[in-house]
Amino acid sequence: MAWLCLIVAGVFEIGWPLGLKLGWNEQGVRPLPLTLAIACMALSGLFLLIAQRSIPMGTAYAVWTGIGAIGTFAVGIAAFSEPATAARMVSVGLIAAGIVGLKMFEH
């Protein structure tokens, strides 16, 4: 259950940079995306809090930020045509490898 909460926290961690990205354009502030970003921040923190009750803090934090980083990276490529160069892919792969390693060597 704790790992599921941590994954949910990581997914919400993707939501807030997306909300910030969409929350401002040439016309100015867009309240709905910014409100959703704030909600994602709060929910991400809440699920991280729950996960940390049984997952070591350092592991939970690293996995949480890793899921957010990888997910935000993927959304940037898919939705905003950000570059998907080989070097960037290898770099995000290293983040993923670190997450897997933390899970594998948890005990």
Domain residue ranges in the chain: 2-104
pTM of the full predicted structure?
0.88
Cβ proximity of 68 and 99 under 8 Å: no
Name the β-bridge partners of 24: 29
Answer whether 61's CB lies under 8 Å from 9's CB.
Answer: no
pLDDT over 90 (residue 78) = yes
The pLDDT of residue 76 is 97
pLDDT over 80 (residue 101)? yes
